[in-house]
Amino acid sequence: MSSDRSEYPVTVQQHILREQKRFPGASGEFSWLLSGITLAAKMIEAKVRRAGLNNILGAQGDINVQGEVQQKLDVYANRVMSDSLGVRDSIAVIASEENEQPTVLRRQSPQARYIVVFDPLDGSSNIDVNVSVGTTFSIIKRPQGVYCDNDILRPGYEQVAAGYVLYGSSTMLVYTAGNGVHGFTLDPGIGAFVLSHEDIRMPTQGKYYSVNESHYADMPPEFRKYIDGLRSGQYGRKYVSRYIGSMVADFHRTLLTGGVFIYPPTKSHPSGKLRLMYEANPVAFLAEQAGGKATNGQERVLNLMPDGIHDRTPLIVGGLTEMTEFEKCRRDALRQDSSELNRAPI
């Protein structure tokens, strides 16, 4: 037998177990919980990879050749996430973008210490055109005692772990448990997520900005001014535009190559489109852990207190240079606003 261990991949399970040792008193519960997510991710990825074939083999609602009823992928992803997390004794409550209400699994079990909120399939409209989609998740601890319905409404800084799965040209899982950001690529040959991107750091300045520019005219002035500055080279370089329309894919590029991703407030949608608890919060936690920042245009995303599980928030997330420049634009806009107010007749 060879003594060279370098050819042995570090799987996500090994990595989590290693991380867990840093927490005194941590049991294997947490790695068992996360293995629910990796199992679901592998099942969703298998379906995503067959999405085109399924369309050929039968329309939505039809019986396919295996005798199964065809399902929309986001419905399937939701069921798979709910089922694989539902059997984990450490989870008290799950909440999904696809369900109006959270599901309380274990109201008073003392072992059930965690709450998991997720978007089972992010960017689902991209499925039909063979473009990358993802799954996002956010994990918080619940207070001890009997679970009360509002216990789930906690700010993002209380997340103990968060991340996403990206079903792209390869399938990747990226997570943080508060000790850096780590990326794992699914090796289809062995069916395991193996460590491919250890301790990801977001470059302090990137070259891409990412925003749906069709909303330009409806954005607040500081966003328009900022985008003008990115395009015209005011921040040390002329930025190039990239927009996929799947937040996970757009954020993944921003995490690895730097730059900025924006989902702005608009006149018709003053809180933007993205959901605070299972889209913005995981992304904000990852960005901060990788050396970047995330705000709603005014304050740190992780400080926002949700009123409901499906609350929306504007999001601007990126490297330090891009976020500092945005903050300058915001201050200028505020100054301009107040000087206009001062000039206004009483």
State yes or no: residue 122 binds Mn ion (CB under 5 A): yes
Number of residues near Mn ion (by CB under 5 A) = 4
The stretch near ligand AHG (CB under 6 A) out of 244-252, 283-291, 324-332, 338-346 is: 244-252
Distance CA 259, CA 202 (A): 9
Q: Phi and psi at residue 8, in whole multiples of 5°?
A: -85, 120
Q: What's the Rg (C-alpha) of the chain?
A: 21
How far out from the chain centre does Cα 5 lie? Answer: 33
| One of 33, 34, 113, 123 touching ligand AHG (CB under 6 A) | 123
Give the Cα separation of 210 and 240 in Å (integer). 9
Of the candidate spans 36-44, 61-69, 122-130, 211-219, the one that interacts with Mn ion by CB under 5 A turns out to be: 122-130
Q: Give 304 or 317: the residue with its C-beta nearer to ligand AHG.
A: 317
The encoded tokens of residue 315 equal 């999001």
Question: By CB under 5 A, which span of 34-42, 97-105, 148-156, 294-302 interacts with Mn ion?
Answer: 97-105
Stretch of 29-37, 83-91, 122-130, 338-346 lying at the interface with ligand AHG (CB under 6 A): 122-130
- DSSP assignment of 94-158 equals EEETT-SS-EES-SS-TT--EEEEEEEEETGGGGGGT--EEEEEEEEEPPSSS--GGGG---GGG
Give the one entry of ligand AHG, Mn ion, none that residue 98 binds, where binding means its C-beta sits below a cut-off of 5 to 8 angstroms depending on kind: none
Choose, by CB under 6 A, the member of 54, 246, 313, 321 that binds ligand AHG: 246
212 binds, among Mn ion, ligand AHG, none (CB under 5 to 8 A by kind): ligand AHG
Q: Which of 133, 135, 117 is nearest to 125 (CA)?
A: 133
CA–CA separation, 230 vs 328, rounded Å? Answer: 13
- Single out the residue of 180, 220, 245, 291 in contact with ligand AHG (rule: CB under 6 A): 245
**Nearest residue (CB) to ligand AHG, 90 versus 281:** 281
- Cβ neighbors of 118 (< 8 A, separation 6 or more) are 81, 94, 95, 96, 97, 135, 136, 137, 138, 278
- Nearest approach in angstroms of CB 132 to ligand AHG is 10
Structure tokens at 144: 């001890």
Give the nearer residue to Mn ion in terms of CB position, either 203 or 306.
Answer: 306
Closer residue to ligand AHG, CB minimum distance, 97 or 322: 97
CA distance 25 to 238: 50
- Residue from 19, 45, 122, 222 that binds ligand AHG (CB under 6 A)? 122
Mark residues 247-286: x for contact with ligand AHG by CB under 6 A, - for none.
x---------------x---------x-------------
Among 16, 82, 86, 38, smallest CA distance to 191 is for 38
User: What angle, rounded to 10 degrees, do the helices at 320-343 and 221-232 form?
Assistant: 130
Nearer to ligand AHG among residue 50 and residue 310 (C-beta): 310
Cβ closest to ligand AHG, residue 88 vs residue 312: 312
User: Mask 155-194, x = binds ligand AHG (CB under 6 A)?
Assistant: ----------------------------------------
Residue 245 site contact among Mn ion, ligand AHG, none (CB < 5 to 8 Å, cut-off depends on kind): ligand AHG
Strand, coil or helix: 171: strand
Choose from Mn ion, ligand AHG, none: what does 175 bind? Cβ within 5-8 Å by kind: none
> What single-letter DSSP state applies at residue 236?
S
DSSP track, 66-107: TSPBP--HHHHHHHHHHHHHHT-TTEEEEEETT-SS-EES-S
Number of Cβ within a 10 Å radius of residue 232: 10
By CB under 6 A, how many residues form the interface with ligand AHG? 11
- The residues binding Mn ion (CB under 5 A) are 97, 119, 121-122
- The residues binding ligand AHG (CB under 6 A) are 97, 119, 122-124, 212, 245-247, 263, 273
